[in-house]
Amino acid sequence: MWQKTIKNFTQNPKNDILSGLTVALALVPEAVAFAFVAGIDPLVGLYGAFMMGIITALFGGRPGMISGATGAMAVVMVHLISKGNEVGEALATPIENLGLQWLFITLLAVGGIQILAGVLRLGKFVRLIPHPVMMGFVNGLAIVIFKSQLGLFPEVAVEGISIVNNTGEWFSALFSNQDFWIMLGLVALTMAIMYGLPKLTKKIPAALTAIIIVAALVIFGKIDVSTVGSFIRDGGGDGLQGGLPTFQDQIFTLFYTLQDNIWTVLSYAFILAAIGLIESLMTLSLIDEMTETRGSGNRECVAQGGANILNGLFGGMGGCAMIGQSIININSGGRGRLSGTIAAVALLCFVLFGAPLIEQIPIAALVGVMFMVVIGTFAWSSFRILNKIPLTDAIVLIAVSAITVWQDLAIAVIAGVIMSALSFAWKSATMIRARKHIKEDGTKVYEIWGPLFFGSTTAFNSKFDVNGDPKHVEIDFIESKISDHSGVEALRNLANKYIDSGKKVTLTHLSPDCKAMLLKWNPEFSTIIQDAIDDPRYHVVTDMMDSEV
């Protein structure tokens, strides 16, 4: 294990270091923005991104995947922090900013839940996510990332002027908005560099090069645009400069404030843990496809949990995997654990030492990088295949994309999986068949084809004519399988109907697991199950082999 970990650090150090630096620059505005969304200090978001990044890079299940503070979790944290602040203000001795302390306490529970999920090996269930859900997920996420970047542009709305009644005046005001067009030009320049540079050379990461060139153009050209520093100050922050994360020992003295709200906090913990795991495991699966390698979902669950516990103890906002930054890292050549480690350490160095320099980076450069991520993330092939895949799959793809934009990623994925499961169950329910024939001794044989489960029991029962059948009936399961309790119960009721009518029923060619399930439910099944019967398909194969020899 350690040999493999060391190999992941040393196999491509140059690309990992450069891509890690690129990701670190992109992490700054994202972490700050999500901290503002949650209503907390920007440094809490930056500390959260650092601790999530370093732990998952070193111990996570997917080398090259980037974790940090995320918007999906931030929007849930808002309500928890607000509730905590209300309780703090209502105490006999008011506690200022109690909501933030509640967040740290909740992150301890979030981490515990996620570690438990890894120990119980629940990470493997990401493999059950259908491909239409995955495509809808990436499409919806691309739209969410795109929309989040639009909010960073200067305000272009023209107050008091209607585009319908005053079209000319509205466009005139729009075109005179110099800040908007300057930023748009810088965004376009960033995207052009990222598009064109790889065609000339792939030895240097295009994203990092684009950020440096656009930043130099703004600094030396003295162009007045929004920068990382102005973005933080406009949001109410004091700047990027800070110290090392400190141990939050006060949270252990504030557990008494949870007396009447313990279930509220635990419910938020389960929601945050579920969102974090779903987004992380979906991102892991996507990166697996991009790199044609395979990560460990269970190991990632444990690492995510450990990182969130560390956030709770040392004052970070927590988080999970970040698909945008992960794609930046992969596209920039970052494949090993070193890339994520460099990104996390560089982010902390920015906070400790490089704040004045990093604050001069124009937001336009970072927006341009994220727009290229959007283009690379969106599954453009989904437009081409929509009319070629089954209608239910197309509906699931579109629905997951819409729900991702409308609600959040976790709800969208859960809804997509449920829709796909119901669609599969319905199709399977209609597949059950019964071929009928009469043996020479007068026994009527029903050869069942298709699964017998809760969805197909009604169709299964409709295949039989208890009153009209002869005295001997054989139900052959050579092409069928009893899958659940509903199937067992349907078969029991059918057998009882034949027995009550004075007829003999025999079950043949049951698989060992089906036979065991039936006998466990009702030992009396042994009287109608016929054992030691040959599989006719075996003789077919044997005859073919003999003829070939």
Q: What is the DSSP string of 77-135?
A: HHHHHHHHHHHHHHSSS--TTHHHHHHHHHHHHHHHHHHHHHHTTGGGGGGGS-HHHHH
Query: Rounded to whole angstroms, how far apart are CA atoms 197 and 204?
Result: 9
Which helix (H) or strand (E) is 35 found in, with range?
helix 13-38
Q: pLDDT value at position 304? A: 96
Distance from chain centroid for Cα 311: 21
Contact predicate 451/431, CB 8 Å: yes
Query: Rounded to whole angstroms, how far apart are CA atoms 46 and 40?
Result: 11
**Strand (E) positions, 275-409?**
320-321
Which helix (H) or strand (E) is 472 found in, with range?
strand 472-482
User: Which parts of the chain register pLDDT below 70?
Assistant: 1-11, 37, 127, 155-174, 235-239, 532-549
Query: Rounded to whole angstroms, how far apart are CA atoms 524 and 484?
Result: 18
Query: Rounded to whole angstroms, how far apart are CA atoms 499 and 491?
Result: 12
Cβ-in-10-Å burial (0-12, 13-18, 19+) of 243 comes to exposed
* Alpha-carbon torsion (346, 349, 354, 359), positive or negative: positive
What per-residue string of b and e applies to 86-97 under the rule 16 or more CB within 10 Å gives b?
A: ebbeeeeeebee
Query: Rounded to whole angstroms, how far apart are CA atoms 2 and 9?
Result: 11
Query: Rounded to whole angstroms, how far apart are CA atoms 325 and 382?
Result: 23
Note every long-range contact of 176-179, with CB atoms under 8 Å and residues 24 or more positions apart, other chains counting: 179/154, 179/224, 179/225
Which of these, 135, 191, 150, lies nearest to 378 by C-alpha position? Answer: 135
Contact predicate 207/24, CB 8 Å: no
pTM for this predicted structure: 0.70
β-bridge mates for residue 449, sequence order: 433, 479
Count CB atoms within 10 A of the CB of residue 39.
Answer: 16
Contact predicate 104/272, CB 8 Å: no
Contact predicate 107/184, CB 8 Å: no
Q: Using only C-alpha atoms, what is the Rg of the chain? A: 30
Count CB atoms within 10 A of the CB of residue 81.
Answer: 24
Q: pLDDT value at position 541? A: 40
Which of these, 132, 153, 147, lies nearest to 225 by C-alpha position? Answer: 153
Q: pLDDT value at position 49? A: 94
Count CB atoms within 10 A of the CB of residue 58.
Answer: 17
Report the amino acid identity of residue 37: V
Query: Rounded to whole angstroms, how far apart are CA atoms 111 and 270?
Result: 10
Query: Rounded to whole angstroms, how far apart are CA atoms 400 and 390?
Result: 16
* Alpha-carbon torsion (94, 95, 99, 104), positive or negative: negative
Phi (first) and psi of residue 321, to 5 degrees: -65, 145
Q: What crossing angle do the helices spanning 409-429 and 131-150 adopt, rounded to 10°? A: 160
Query: Rounded to whole angstroms, how far apart are CA atoms 390 and 176?
Result: 49
Our CA angle for 403, 408, 411, nearest 5°, is: 70
Report the amino acid identity of residue 342: I
* Tens of pLDDT, residues 103-131: 999 999 999 999 999 999 887 777 677 88
Which of these, 369, 356, 359, lies nearest to 325 by C-alpha position? Answer: 369
What's the token pair of residue 73?
């979790």
What's the token pair of residue 47?
């500390």
40: DSSP letter: S
What's the token pair of residue 208?
């990092």
Q: pLDDT value at position 155? A: 63
Report the amino acid identity of residue 127: R
Distances from the Cα of 466 to the Cα of 85, 132, 444, 502, 507, angstroms: 69, 43, 11, 10, 15
Distances from the Cα of 278 to the Cα of 104, 124, 451, angstroms: 21, 12, 30
Phi (first) and psi of residue 508, to 5 degrees: -125, 160
529: DSSP letter: B
